[in-house]
Structure 1
C-alpha cells in the first residue's frame, strides 16, 4: 500500500523468489461510472532501470607485461528508492 496516494502497488521484478502465481485482477477503464466497488486495475504503468551486476576492467602495460591488470567486482548494493 502506498500510503501517500492511498493506492496498492504491485512490483514485478527479475527475481522469482517473491512471485505470487495465479493472482488475477480485472482491468477496467475508468469511464466515470461506478465500478461497483469491485477490486480492479484502472491503470498500468511500466518502469525499468538497468542495474549492473558486475564491473570488470582490463589494462595492459607493455613495460610489465607479465603483471596481471584485471579487476572484477560484483555489485551487491541495492540502489535507488524503494517502492
Structure 2
C-alpha cells in the first residue's frame, strides 16, 4: 500500500488517522482504518489555510492537542509567538 511504502507507517493500525493536504492548503483529507474498512474524511477550511509539511521528511506523529492546533491553522510542530502592534483607537 502506498502509505506503508512511502511513509513507513501501517495504515491498518486501528485508530490511526492519516492526514493529507491536497494542492490547496485550505483542504485536508483523512484516512482512518475502522477494522472492517477505511473511512475517508474531507474538510474544507472556510477562512484561512493550514500550515502543512511539504516533504515526507517533515511528516510527524501528532498528539490530539497538536491536531487541534493544525485545525485552527497553526503550525503545531513549529510554534512561534508573533509580535502584535495594537491599533490606535479612532
TM-score range, shorter chain: under 0.3
The structure that is strand-richer by fraction is 2
Higher relative contact order (CA 8 A, sep 6+): 1
Taking structure 1 as the reference length, the TM-score comes to: 0.23
Which structure is larger by alpha-carbon Rg, 1 or 2?
1
Taking structure 2 as the reference length, the TM-score comes to: 0.22
